[in-house]
Amino acid sequence: MRLSLAIDSISNPSSLFLHDNTVTMSGDNPLISHIFTADPSAHTFPNHPGKIFLYPSHDVDAGIEDNDNGDQYAMNDYHVFSMPSAAGPVTDHGVALKEADVPW
C-alpha cells in the first residue's frame, strides 16, 4: 500500500480524511502539540500494515524576535511519531536524529 499525506499543517489539523490512500488533515485539532514540528514526511511500511509513521523536524525557539522569515525557530532534531491508523492516536517515539550528529 502506498500512502501519500496531504497536510495543511501538522500542528493544526482537526480531522483526517482517507480517500484513495491519501490522508488530508485540516482544522484546529493538532496531531502534535507538545513540541513545535515542521516539514513532516509520512511513510507506511509493509511489516506494519495500516500504521502511519511521521518524521517531522523538531523546531526550538532560537531566541530571535518573531518575524516573517521564520528566523525565530531553529531545527534541533527529528522525531518519529506513529499512528495505528489515520484516525490516531499519535505516539512520540522520541528523537531519531540530532542536527549535531550530522557532519556538515
Full domain range(s) for residue 87: 4-101
Residue 54, pLDDT score:
94
Q: Give mean pLDDT in consecutive 10-residue pieces for the chain, a chain of 104 residues.
A: 40 42 56 88 93 93 87 90 89 93 89
Number of H helices, E strands in the chain: 0, 9
User: What total number of domains does the chain contain?
Assistant: 1
Residue 11 backbone dihedrals phi, psi, to 5 degrees: -90, 0
Q: How many residues does the chain have?
A: 104
CB 96 within 8 A of CB 55: yes
Q: What is the pTM of this model?
A: 0.67
